[in-house]
Amino acid sequence: MPTVLLTVDSLRADHLKQYGYERDTMPVLDRLTAEGTTFENAFSNGPYTRISIPSFHTSRYLSYGDLGAFPTIASVLSSAGVQTTAIGTQTGIDMVQGEFRFDEMVDLGRDDFEDGAERSTAQKALLQLDSVAADVSDWLQHHRLTKVYDFLQRPYNAMFGDADTVRLRGYNSAEEVTDRAISWIQDNEHEEFFLWLHYMEAHRPYGIHDTDPAYCDEPADDEEIRRLMKTAGQTPEAISEAETSRMIDRYDSDLRYCSRHISRLFDSFEQADIWDDLNILFSSDHGEEFGEHGLFFHRNFPYDELTHVPLILKPARTPPTDTIVEQRELLDLVPTICSFHDVDTDDYSFLGTPLYEGDGRDVISLGQPGMDVPAVTIRTGDWKYIHTESDKQLYDLTSDPGEQTNVIDSNQRVAARLQRKIPQRLFGRDTKTPRPPKDQPDKEQLEALGYLELREDE
């Protein structure tokens, strides 16, 4: 039976109606829940991409490191004769370097750059001019020279705002990812395949592709939304409640936009007469913070808003089952997918367990909230313990699910017990500063996503 893994970047579980949210941000998921299983308490093993994705592709606790040293879901399935394909958009996760060892990798962001490699001299000059203008505008706004900024902005936009050039959008849209996936399905000749689709909505900058946002009065203004994102990243204390609400509206609208295009994908599965035979898993690499712990996006300790992710599984030709409330983790994806393809995992020492097997798991998540501050977290059903060399936190999730009150001083024995459950090697792991862009397309994408200005590597 073929398998499709759908991941939506930065999607926190509590912004889905299927997980109790007041807005129906992704109605397409009802098609999965009606025929499958919802895992109510699933958690990523890291609060940002460069920890979470390597971890769930290897079923190991990884962050920075050489994936080539470990078997991945793609390499294991490929060795068993299963066609493995990934389709997504370049996000700084080194998809194009082949570390995940898919038979076929379609990186839309890099493809677009290479398609436009023969830009005219005028286009190249305008891209450089855009970069200089952005630096000037940032300096003026930082020094509160708003009148000068407004004076210069109007004529610049009048002259260059509609220029025919390739302007950075940050990532390729859900529409483009779905279009490419549908084409792949139509051309596919493999009975057994594993297809991973990674959608970038709702990663910041929010609202850059949706022309009809569900929860906003009008489409996002690129410059305005990027300015808001930058302020939230660099000086989060300056963000008002109204601005936070605007970001949430954009974020939720992106989810609804993504839902529309995943619905098209599901329609294509039915048109190809493969829906019933597909194993479909839906999840996210991590969540998103909107000031719950003083920051925005996904640069903090592994609090639940950053690690609690949706996980829904529609198995092929299997009746739906009740919601599973016991904890699961994304390390469980690899052994689950291998079981769909009758691949024996005994020789691979994966840390996860098939999703339908066993009781609840204690979930370990790695993080790096500071430039050189490694954090490791363990979450049980009732407690969460967060450890760094200089800071230790303990939260009673029963009475404090929002993780606002550190109770470690009055619960030292609980903290010590949880600390002993964490593998010792995870405490002293190496940290690395954010990597430099490896080439021009990588640099353009990282700039557009805001990583270079915030010194992140997510």
Q: In the numeric block, which tokens belong to residue 171? A: 């990532």
Higher pLDDT, 161 or 73: 73
pLDDT number for residue 133: 57
Distance CA 393, CA 383 (A): 10
Burial of 23 (0-12, 13-18, 19+ CB in 10 A): middle
Is the pLDDT at 108 greater than 60? The verdict is: yes
Average pLDDT over residues 7-20: 97
Whose structure tokens read 């490929």?
Answer: 78
Is the pLDDT at 440 greater than 80? The verdict is: no
Angle at 42 between CA 400 and CA 361, to 5 degrees: 85
Is the pLDDT at 100 greater than 80? The verdict is: yes
Q: Are 279 and 3 a contacting pair, CB within 8 Å? A: yes
Average pLDDT over residues 263-269: 98
Q: Are 36 and 314 a contacting pair, CB within 8 Å? A: yes
Instruction: Find the range with the poorest average confidence among 31-40, 44-53, 148-157, 440-449.
Output: 440-449
Distance CA 330, CA 243 (A): 32
Spatial CA neighbour of 89 closest among 169, 192, 163: 169
Spatial CA neighbour of 16 closest among 259, 355, 338, 298: 259
How far is C-alpha 41 from the chain's CA centre?
Answer: 17
pLDDT number for residue 157: 59
Average pLDDT over residues 17-42: 98
pLDDT number for residue 90: 59
Distance CA 140, CA 153 (A): 11
Is the pLDDT at 214 greater than 90? The verdict is: yes
Q: Are 331 and 350 a contacting pair, CB within 8 Å? A: yes
pLDDT band for 115, please (50, 70, 90 cuts). very low
- Report the length, in residues, of the chain: 458
Is the pLDDT at 441 greater than 90? The verdict is: no
Is the pLDDT at 311 greater than 70? The verdict is: yes
Distance CA 54, CA 61 (A): 8
Q: Are 386 and 398 a contacting pair, CB within 8 Å? A: no
Q: In the numeric block, which tokens belong to residue 31? A: 């098609």
User: For residues 373-397, b (16+ Cβ closer than 10 Å) or e, as one string?
Assistant: ebbbbbbbeebbbbbbeeeebbbbe
DSSP 8-state secondary structure symbol assigned to residue 191: S
DSSP 8-state secondary structure symbol assigned to residue 22: S
pLDDT band for 26, please (50, 70, 90 cuts). very high
pLDDT band for 1, please (50, 70, 90 cuts). confident
Is the pLDDT at 454 greater than 90? The verdict is: no
pLDDT number for residue 226: 84
**Where do the structural domains in the chain lie, given as residue ranges?**
3-115+171-362, 121-160
Strands (E) in 240-382, as ranges, are 279-283, 289-290, 296-297, 308-309, 311-314, 328-329, 363-370, 373-379
Q: Are 81 and 101 a contacting pair, CB within 8 Å? A: no
pLDDT number for residue 96: 42
Whose structure tokens read 């459950």?
Answer: 421
pLDDT number for residue 147: 62
pLDDT band for 204, please (50, 70, 90 cuts). confident
Whose structure tokens read 């489409």?
Answer: 219
CATH topology of domain 3-115+171-362: Alkaline Phosphatase, subunit A (3.40.720)
Average pLDDT over residues 400-425: 97
What rounded mean pLDDT belongs to the chain?
Answer: 84
pTM over 0.75: yes
Average pLDDT over residues 350-376: 90
Distance CA 104, CA 375 (A): 34
Instruction: Find which of 19-28, 152-161, 317-326 is predicted with most confidence, using mean pLDDT.
Output: 19-28
Distance CA 348, CA 285 (A): 23
Average pLDDT over residues 372-393: 93
What is the CB-side half-sphere exposure of residue 456 using CA atoms within 13 A?
A: 28
pLDDT band for 451, please (50, 70, 90 cuts). very low
Instruction: Find the range with the poorest average confidence among 26-40, 42-56, 232-246, 365-379.
Output: 365-379
Distance CA 307, CA 298 (A): 10
How far is C-alpha 159 from the chain's CA centre?
Answer: 36
Higher pLDDT, 113 or 385: 385
Instruction: Find the range with the poorest average confidence among 37-51, 123-137, 281-295.
Output: 123-137
Spatial CA neighbour of 268 closest among 173, 178, 341, 205: 178
pLDDT number for residue 377: 97
pLDDT band for 106, please (50, 70, 90 cuts). confident
Whose structure tokens read 């599984």?
Answer: 313
Helix (H, G, I), strand (E, B) or coil at 247: helix
User: For residues 46-60, b (16+ Cβ closer than 10 Å) or e, as one string?
Assistant: bbbbbbbbbbbbbbb
